[in-house]
Every structure is written in structure tokens, then in C-alpha cells.
A and B are shown apart, each in its own frame.
Chain A
Amino acid sequence: MKTLDPVWGVYTPSDEAPWDLRRVTHLHRRAGFAAAWDELQRDLKDGPEASIDRLIAGKVSLHSPSEFDSTANLLADAAVAANEPGRLKAWWFYRMLFGPDPLGEKLTLTWHNHFATSIAKVQDLSAMRRQNDTFRKLCRATFGELLNSSVREAALLVWLDAPANRKGHPNENLGRELMELFTLGVGNYTEADVKEAARCLTGWTIEDGKFAEVATRHDDGEKTVVGKTGKWTGADLVRVLLENPATAKRLAWRLCDVFFGEKAVSPEALQSLADGLIANNLDIGWAVGTILRSKAFFADANIGTRIKGPAEFITGSARALEMFDPAPSTLALADWCGRMGQDLFEPPNVGGWNGGRAWVGARSMITRANFVAALVDGTNAGRPKAHDPSELAKRHGLPTDANALITFHCRLLLGGDPTPALTARLAKGMDRKMVALLLSAPEYQLG
């Protein structure tokens, strides 16, 4: 294989790029949903290699209850049984807030965005939950495994009208999105390819809530898709698309979109990662590991250059402030997330959320500020007590005078000491109002 671009080389701490609180908080914000003070201190001491190993192994949280898996399953079962979408959204917030594997949850969210499917049309919580579990189970697998499972999920098949696509009665919905969104990306196929792809996929349907192929509905004639000709089935189509280099490029783009800030990856570095993916059988785990360990990931250009998405903003704030016991209502958190523009399980369309600067607008800034007020106050976030910054500082043996509290919260939430100007701005609020000021500040929206 071609050698990877040097920016993908392993980061080692140096005077110019030290392993400090700034980089530890950066790692947790991007690879997970921020971290509590004890987790930050542990990783600061253990160094990058051990910290990243832990993230990849999914054993990060020091605040995950021992009965996490069984509780999570109960919550999902109950949400499905009650047929309440809000509770399914709350289940996911429970997982993000309390789970031992924040990187896994972040990747699950990434695949939910990539294969964006909405309850609004699917109307089947059981299928939505199964799809979500598939994303989670295969979040670090090869893209081939993930794609093959994802396109056979009942929720996605309903969402893209697969059962209506039969021999002689083509329905292009699945074929088109499979090429445009899931694999090749715009510009790498023609309208004729869409029609041929739809023919390959004829006969795909759902029986007893599961994927099935009906041979009599399948068009078994010859098709030509992106220049390859054969009597392709749906499985053949997926294979042909996986072999196309445009798919590796789109996969590399998707992962960089999650882990990098604006303009932090050059087109050459992106192409190099795509080449690496091809050489590694489109192994997502390989790419994620390469990214998280890389010089590029820890470069100054990548720190604080990304706008936090609503789920990151909400979960990260609650995790960093150690709101575990009592925790805010996950139902309330899911509702706030929707109001900020990221309604989990209900993406705006098959293209998913645009992310980046699209998260920010006058209304969403108001909503973020209102959420912050609710979170620190407790009441409108379903938490029986308010946030007490002194109590948090005491828990970690830190001083509790006003200035010390400002410094502590800036280290925890921004990864560094405040400038005198920021200290003056935050000093306009006392106790939890100071924390509300910090969480509402433009600086905190970046991560």
C-alpha cells in the first residue's frame, strides 16, 4: 500500500504539543461526550497511549453503574412496549450519559446520521431500536459489515420504500440513496446507474419484521452499474459499490467530519486516509484508531475549531459537571436536544443533520442558553437539585473561593485557565450563575 500521509503518524507529546489538560479535554470532547474531573486527571497522568486505548476498548467512564447494560435494556424494552418515541430518545441519552463506551455511542450517532432514518415515517419503535443496536454493534467493524447489515435493517427498508421495488415496477428510492448518501456520494454515478441499481434491488422486502428476498419479484436480467456489468443481485450491487474507491473517500470524509474541526484536514490527508481504508478492507476501527492517535488529531489547528452538536453539548455538560446522582431527566435532555435542532431518531431528512455551522443560529443560541439555565437550576431539566460549583470543587479537594471556582470550571469545561478578560466576564455571576455564564459563552460552543 501507499504510505500514509505523515499527518496520520502517531502523536507523541512534545514541548510544542504537550500532553496537557487542553489535549485531554479535546480528546474526550471529540471521541466521546466530555469527561468528569477524575477521568481527566487519570488520563493526564497515564498519557495519550493508555487514554486512547481505553477509549477504543470502550472502558472509559468512571461513573458507569455496574448494572448499566441491564438498566439500558429495560429502558429500551419499556420504551418500545409503551410505543413512546420520547422514551426511546431518552434511552439513548441514558446510554450516552452513563455508558462505559462514549466513543461507541459517538460512532453510533455517526452511523445514525449516515444512514439517517426517521421514526416519522417508519412508525415502528422496535425496528428503530434494532437499527440503533446494529449501528452500535458494528460501529467499529468493517464498513462492508456495517453497510450490508444497515441496508437490510427493516427500519431502513421501510424508510426507503424497498418493498415497493419489484421486477417491472422499479422504485428508485433505496438505490439512489444507497449510492448518493451511503457509499459513492454525488458526482460518482449517473441517473442511468440509479435505474440499474433499483433493478438490482428488486425483490428486497420485509417479512415478519425482517429482511427477506423474494425471488419472483427480482429482475434477474443483466445490469450495468458504475461501469460493471453482470446479472447482479442486491448483494452484488452492495459489493460493487464497496469496491468503488469513491466509497472509501466518502467514508474517510464522514469520519473526518466527526473527529475534525473546520479546515483541520487537508484534501491530501483525506485522500491518504481513504487509500489507507482501501488497504485495510474499509476497517472503521482501523481508521478511528489511526485518527485518534494521529498528529493531525492533536494539532493546534484541530483544537477548538468545531461547533459542538446538540447531543455533545448536552451530554458533555452533564458529564463534565458530574450530574450522575441525581441526574437530569433523560426525557428532558432528549427534548432539549430536539429543540436545539437534533431530534434523535427523527433526523430532518435522509441526508441527516448538516452539522458544523448549521447548528448555530439566533434561535438555537437562545435554546442553548435556556437549556443551560435549566441544567444548572435543575428544575426544567428534571433534576431535583441545582448545580453547586463549590460542592463539585470540594469533592476534588479544590478551593472554593469565587476566583478559584472560575479557574476550576474553565479548566474542566474549556481545558485551560481563563484569560483575565474571561474571568471578569464570568465574575458577573455568582455560584451556579457563573457556570451558566460559562456554558452560554460563545467559547464553550466550540470544542
Chain B
Amino acid sequence: MAEGYHMLNRRTFLKSSSLLALAPTVPVFVTRTARAAEPAKDARVLVVVQLDGGNDALNTLVPLKNETYQKLRPRLKIADKDAVKLSDNFGLHPSFRQADKLIKAGQLLAIPGVGYPNPNRSHFESMAIWHTAKTDPEEYKGYGWLGRALDTSGGDSYTITNDVPRALRGRRSAAIALTRLEDLTLADAGTVKNATGPEAQQDLLAFVRRHAVDGTTAAEKMSAMAKATDGGNYPGTTVGERLKLIARLLKADLGTRVFYTVQGGYDTHATQQFTHSNLLFEFAGAVNAFFADLQTAKLADRVTLLAFSEFGRTIKENGSAGTDHGTAGVVFLCGPNVKSGVIGSLPSLTELDKGEPKMTTDFRQVYATVLTDWLGIKADVLGGSYETMKLFS
């Protein structure tokens, strides 16, 4: 296997070198990959999983021996005895038994009460805030926190979603969206290359052309890695398939530092018990399988996974056995290099602001820590100064 990796890496490098000779028609991200071709093999990787729709934090990371919690959730509460104990005060939703191996190995860290001041309860607005790390409406329509980070460090990102999420959008960095490998294979590469044409003057045409070039180059890379090992025993869920595809791309060693995917469905306004349980079951199972696969491929040490949601849900269950849009939520970090258990504290469930808890950790502190202590990128791309935390071992 080691030899296979070496050969693949070498082939990728050679391909990039030959493309360099074609400059200046080479897209930005290829020249960067070529430049970073040697060290890329050991570079640290961040995988982001967006739990879309607003994950019910309180029933995900459950406060143990907490009467207030139990009163707020007459129908939805998780009993202490059912929770998967993570620390003296916290247990995970029973669905996290699916991540048994990960938890036993001390490779799962939960951070409760993560949010930002003056929480916004619109999916789109709050998601935009998490994606850009900006809370000013004028600013959170702009480039994403990871896009900006990659603008400074170089490197491309892959997203296993239909569209490129705002978090990955940068001024220069290229994000490639795909949901299956065939999405990056060209039926008639020759024709498409001929179609691209020269550099364009008009801004919009230049934009389209640049992505056409990115497309042909990505297709070339993908055909080079098509023979990479498959492997891994994943649950047949959407999020499982998506993490499996990320593992394949990791094994192909394209020099990519940031991967992104989404698990949808967390907007549980009504009769949420089974829905929420299933979502967490699928999430925990997929993450567990992902790290087991990476362990076998000897890649796990290079990878940290971050899972977040745009907000938590109302701490009090609603009249339809669901929960509505809330405020601070839980963030997960997984992998061999993160500290285990729980870091940070549960927001008070009685001292509230507009009926909901006040955040205890600013999400930008988590981002700043991941950037500086994991990716080795200066956190000033966040556009402010945020105290880092001790999240990595």
C-alpha cells in the first residue's frame, strides 16, 4: 500500500508539473497544489460536517441529574440512565452508542453552549454567520471563514454537497462540489478542452471560463486517482456515503486540506423524537466508520472532524412534541488529536435572555483554535481577535 501511495503521489505531482508548463491557462488551485505537492502528504486535514436545520443541542449533549432540563422536556427528555456518559455532568443521546469505538478511544470532544452574541434565529441568517464568522449583516453575505483561510494558506477544498457552501467561498481558493466520483469524470475531455477558449475580458465570462478550466483539471486529477483503493465499511446512509467519498479523496492524496459535507433534516419542529434519534444514529455511525477506515489507511492522525449546526433549539419543547429555533448549540470535534470528553460549560437553563440560554463559548474561539492549533493558519482571517481554547492534545 505504501508503494501505491508513493506512486500515486508522484503521478499527481508529474501531472501538475506538466500542467504548469501550460501556464497561464492553468487554474489557480492547480499551481498551488503543484507547489505544495511534496508536503501535502503529511498536511493536516479538516473535515466539516454541517448538521443542517438546527440540531437540538439539549437532547444531543444531555445534562445529567438536571431537574430543570427534565421539566423543560416532559415528553422529549433523555433519562440519565439512557445517556452515553461522557463526563460527570454530561451524557450523549443514546444514538451515540453507534460511535462507541470513537468514544472509548477518547476521540470525541463535545463543546456545549457554542454561539454568538445577539443570536439570530433565521436558518439562513444564522448559517451565514457560522459560515462567515461575521455577525454584521453587511459582512456575513461575503466570503466564508474557510475560503478566507485557504486564500492565505493556499490549497483547495472539496465539498460533498450539491452546491459550494458559503463557508468555502473565498476570493481565490477553489471549492469543488461533488456527490459522486462520476460527477468529476468528463465524457469527452478533448472536446471540452477545445471549447474553453482564451482568457476573457468580460468579468462574468472570465468567471465561467475559470470554472470550466477548473472542471477539466479536476476531471484529470480524478481519472488519475480512479484506481485508488475503495475500502471501509460504512453504513448505507447518505452521511455515511458522503464521509466514505471524503475518505476516498483523502486516500487519493490530492493535497486537499479542507473537506465539507452536510447532513440535513435537523429542523425538528414537530414530533421530533424518532427523527432526531435517527439523525444522530446516522451521524454517529458514519463518523465512527470514517475514523475506523482512516485508521486502517493510516490517515487518521492527519484528520480532525468538526460538526456544527446553525443554532440549538428552544430549550422548552413545543406543543407538538418538537422544538423551535433556539440559540447556542453543541459543537463536536473528533479524531485522534482532539481532547476527549467535554470542554466548556452548559449555559444556565434558568438565567435566560429572551427565553433562551446565553452562549458560554463564542464559536469563533473554536474556529480560531482549529485554524491556529490544527491547520496552522493565522486566525486573523476571522477578522477579530478570539481567545483560543485547549482543544487538541
Query: Could you list which residues of chain A lie within 8 angstroms of chain B, going by C-beta atoms?
Result: 161, 164-166, 168-173, 176, 180, 186-187, 191, 194, 261-262, 305, 307, 339, 341, 343, 348-351, 354, 357-358, 360-367, 369-370, 373-374, 380, 421-422, 425, 428-429, 433, 436-438, 440-443, 445-446
Q: How far is the CB of B139 from chain A (nearest CB, A)?
A: 14
Instruction: Determine the distance from Cα of A358 to Cα of B164 in the docked complex, in whole angstroms.
Output: 8
Of A343, A362, A363, A429, which is in contact with the most chain B CB atoms at under 10 Å from its CB? A362
Give 20 A-B contacts (CB < 8 Å), ordered by A residue: A161-B269, A161-B270, A164-B319, A164-B322, A166-B320, A168-B319, A171-B318, A171-B320, A176-B122, A360-B207, A362-B215, A366-B184, A369-B188, A369-B191, A428-B194, A433-B191, A440-B195, A441-B196, A442-B200, A446-B204
Contact partner of B162 (CB less than 8 A), chosen from A170, A187, A341, is: A341
User: Interface digits, B146-173 against A, CB 8 Å rule (1 contact, 0 not)?
Assistant: 0000000000000000111000000000
Contact partner of B186 (CB less than 8 A), chosen from A172, A350, A369, A422, is: A369
Q: Kindly report which residue of chain A lies nearest to residue B354, judged by CB atoms.
A: A191
B40 interfacial contact with A, CB 8 Å: no
Chain B residues near A339: list those with CB within 8 A.
183
Contact partner of A362 (CB less than 8 A), chosen from B124, B176, B187, B320, is: B176
Whether A369 and B195, one on each chain, are in contact in the complex, defined by CB atoms closer than 8 angstroms, is yes
Contact partner of B197 (CB less than 8 A), chosen from A187, A350, A443, is: A443
**Known contacts A361-B175, A363-B215, A437 near B205 by CB under 8 Å:** no
Q: How many residues on chain B are close to A (CB under 8 Å)?
A: 52
Whether B178 and A363, one on each chain, are in contact in the complex, defined by CB atoms closer than 8 angstroms, is yes
Whether B270 and A164, one on each chain, are in contact in the complex, defined by CB atoms closer than 8 angstroms, is yes
Whether B208 and A437, one on each chain, are in contact in the complex, defined by CB atoms closer than 8 angstroms, is no
Chain B residues near A172: list those with CB within 8 A.
324-325
**Known contacts A161-B320, A361-B164, A369 near B123 by CB under 8 Å:** no
Task: For the complex of A and B, list the 5 residue pairs with the smallest distance between their C-beta atoms, beginning with the closest.
Answer: A169-B319, A164-B320, A365-B215, A440-B195, A362-B214
Query: Could you list which residues of chain B lie within 8 angstroms of chain A, going by C-beta atoms?
Result: 52, 121-125, 137, 162-164, 174-178, 183-188, 191-192, 194-198, 200, 204-205, 207-209, 211-212, 214-219, 267, 269-270, 318-320, 322, 324-325, 354
Instruction: Determine the distance from Cα of A165 to Cα of B163 in the docked complex, in whole angstroms.
Output: 32
Chain B residues near A446: list those with CB within 8 A.
204-205, 208
Chain A residues near B163: list those with CB within 8 A.
341, 348, 354, 358, 361
Q: A191-B121, A349-B52 are in contact. List 7 more A-B contacts (CB 8 A).
A: A169-B320, A170-B324, A366-B184, A366-B218, A438-B195, A441-B197, A443-B197
Chain B residues near A436: list those with CB within 8 A.
188, 191, 195
Instruction: Determine the distance from Cα of A173 to Cα of B267 in the docked complex, in whole angstroms.
Output: 10
Whether A173 and B269, one on each chain, are in contact in the complex, defined by CB atoms closer than 8 angstroms, is yes
Instruction: Determine the distance from Cα of A440 to Cα of B196 in the docked complex, in whole angstroms.
Output: 8
Instruction: Determine the distance from Cα of A364 to Cα of B212 in the docked complex, in whole angstroms.
Output: 9
Instruction: Determine the distance from Cα of A364 to Cα of B187 in the docked complex, in whole angstroms.
Output: 14
Instruction: Determine the distance from Cα of A373 to Cα of B214 in the docked complex, in whole angstroms.
Output: 19
Q: How far is the CB of B387 from chain A (nearest CB, A)?
A: 29
Whether A425 and B186, one on each chain, are in contact in the complex, defined by CB atoms closer than 8 angstroms, is no
Chain B residues near A176: list those with CB within 8 A.
121-122, 325
Whether B186 and A437, one on each chain, are in contact in the complex, defined by CB atoms closer than 8 angstroms, is no
Instruction: Determine the distance from Cα of A367 to Cα of B179 in the docked complex, in whole angstroms.
Output: 12
Q: How far is the CB of B343 from chain A (nearest CB, A)?
A: 30
Q: How far is the CB of A62 from chain B (nearest CB, A)?
A: 30
Chain A residues near B319: list those with CB within 8 A.
164, 166, 168-171
**Known contacts A173-B269, A186-B125, A442 near B197 by CB under 8 Å:** yes
Q: Kindly report which residue of chain B lies nearest to residue A172, judged by CB atoms.
A: B324
Chain B residues near A168: list those with CB within 8 A.
319
Instruction: Determine the distance from Cα of A360 to Cα of B163 in the docked complex, in whole angstroms.
Output: 9
Q: Kindly report which residue of chain A lies nearest to residue B355, judged by CB atoms.
A: A195
Whether B218 and A363, one on each chain, are in contact in the complex, defined by CB atoms closer than 8 angstroms, is yes
Whether B122 and A180, one on each chain, are in contact in the complex, defined by CB atoms closer than 8 angstroms, is yes
Instruction: Determine the distance from Cα of A446 to Cα of B186 in the docked complex, in whole angstroms.
Output: 21
Chain A residues near B325: list those with CB within 8 A.
172, 176
Whether A429 and B122, one on each chain, are in contact in the complex, defined by CB atoms closer than 8 angstroms, is no
Whether B204 and A437, one on each chain, are in contact in the complex, defined by CB atoms closer than 8 angstroms, is no
Whether A437 and B195, one on each chain, are in contact in the complex, defined by CB atoms closer than 8 angstroms, is yes
